[in-house]
Amino acid sequence: MPRLCLLAFWYSLFTALALPSPASAASKPLPKLDVPGVREEQVMLPMRDGVKLSAYLYFPETPAQEKLPALFEQRYAEITGLGTRKAAATLAAKGFVVAMVNYRGTHESEGTWVGYRATQWGQQRDGWDVCEWLAAQPWCTGKVGTFGSSQGGYVQNYLAVTQPPHLVAQYMVDTGLSLFHEGYRLGGATRPERYKAMGKVARNYADHEALLKTWDRHPDYDGYWKSEDCKPYFAKMNVPCFTIGSWYDFMIQGSIMSFQGRQKLGGPQSRDNQWLLLGPWLHGRLNKGSKVGELIYPENATWPELEHMTRWFNHWLKGEANGIDKEPKVRWYVMGATGEDSAPGNVWSEAADWPPKLKDTRFFLNADGVLSTRRTGAKGSRTSYASDPRKPMNIPGTSFPGAKDARSFEQQAEVRTWTTEPLAVPMEWTGEVKAELYISSTAADTDFIVRVSDVYPDGRSILLMDYPMRARYRDGFDKQRLLTPTNAEALATRNDPRSDEIAKLNMHVGWTSIIFNKGHRIRVTIASTGAPLYEPNNQTGGRQTLDWMKDTQSAINTIWHDAQRSSCVRVPLRVVGK
């Protein structure tokens, strides 16, 4: 069917279905929403295949017959919590109809829970259908915007690829592009325990069990995962977008790549119509304040997200000339030490593009735990430790513990650290941090977790970033290459291992902008386990599936740092004052 005819068909269908369907029988009385001048209503939105999604709509008081633009967020998380409802109603009070919509198969939404796939560009295009349903309502101007963070950011990228005709602008916070790289997998590592817990959102847990088994059948970045990756489809993204990323968030790479791809490769309404903001925050939405983890930044670190988002949509959906489109394309917060009045940093910087060009500099991992821009390793210099998936080192929780003291992890038995001498002058890192590791293992496969910390003069090791890498994916996530295991006894006596026993890992560690103050030290920490945050590699070289601990193997892992194998981190460096 030609595109124009198809659009006309869907528009007429949604117009015919303009009156909302009654809420499902699963609806339950909710606590009173105390936001003056805003009315709340649950509706069941019709999708193209007859499935209906649960949505809560928030209408501000307006003169009779006045039409308003619509905003919506899609998420699998609960939308009936009082905080979520109040946030939506507060946004509606700014002069929008706001819809909070649950993914199909979750909570009160009908259909089969299939993760994000129904929101994408396959036969089911739930995001497209929600957008066009809202645009067709008699109270809507026909202009629609989207907002949301994390899951609500991913889904906006998916929506943009489908090009709904009434989508005008988007506002993403801590977003992503590829669920293999930034979600169900991370650095190639599987995350079965974390995603078992996602089943609590499904109306039918059997749907989630089926989804987990499907993921098991696709351990590599194959066609299944590529069909959930937005990066090949930037040219189809064709709307202005404001994107926020957070330094203390592993998903910041998704926020940055979203901006870069849309800005340079997007459609004509996308190119040069993208804005990027990067600040010293944790993952999430409406949490961009000055208190972060165990740190308190100056008040200038606070970002007025609701107010700015309102100005954004007032401009793009209402035509308000408020100057928001004249703001710098890229702004980032250059972090500095907190609690030190003379510390450089803790200021905003701006540019037309990202990242800025700083000097690519190597900090080498040397013997005796020394981190330096000079390499000092003698022949055979190396650092070894044990890795046992049944006795993992501990990183508590399921969220990245950024902006907190990391010594409790660094002091564990099978964790190794490399630390600089106290800095004689401040040093700025702004951009992407990478690692080049020369490694060997007595196992056929293992993981490496690399962390970077700012060590304060009082000894606190404030965690800036970390990232895992599964060794079998060192040549690309679409193929596996197992290690050649070393013999532990031979390794103890040899200074020069066979070349086939050494593997080089080139890995992403994180993005940052920070000035390490004079007197501070910089620390790199490496381990192979850190549970429950990172679920251990079973180290057998076999497939790691839902029964991933059925078979395991302990190992001795080695980081090499001699002249021929100079393990290091690569950073974008500027020495402050020079």
Distance of CA 422 to the CA centre of its chain: 32
Token readout for 545 is 């599936």
Tell me if residue 487 falls in helix, strand or coil: coil
* Residue position matching structure tokens 């193209």: 48
Closest CA to 317 of 86, 157, 95, 90: 95
Residues with Cβ within 8 Å of 61's Cβ and at least 6 positions away in sequence, in order, are 37, 38, 39
Cross-strand bridge partners of residue 99? 57, 72
What is the pLDDT, as a whole number, of residue 26? 46
Closest CA to 502 of 440, 437, 436: 440
What is the pLDDT, as a whole number, of residue 553? 96
Residue type present at position 548: W
- The domain ranges of the chain are 38-288, 359-541+552-575
pTM score, two decimals? 0.94
Q: Which fold has domain 38-288?
A: Rossmann fold (3.40.50)
Q: State the architecture of 359-541+552-575 in CATH terms.
A: Sandwich (2.60)
What is the pLDDT, as a whole number, of residue 13? 41
Residues with Cβ within 8 Å of 51's Cβ and at least 6 positions away in sequence, in order, are 104, 109, 110, 111
What is the pLDDT, as a whole number, of residue 2? 41
What would the 3-class secondary structure string for 4-68 be?
A: HHHHHHHHHHHHHCCCCECCCCCCCCCCCCCCCCEEEEEEEEECCCCCEEEEEEEEECCCCCCCE
As a whole number of angstroms, the distance between CA 439 and CA 202 comes to 41
Q: Which residues of the chain have pLDDT under 70?
A: 1-28, 578
What is the pLDDT, as a whole number, of residue 14? 42
Residues 279 and 256: beta-carbon distance below 8 Å:
no
Residues 148 and 75: beta-carbon distance below 8 Å:
yes
What is the pLDDT, as a whole number, of residue 184? 85
What is the pLDDT, as a whole number, of residue 198? 87
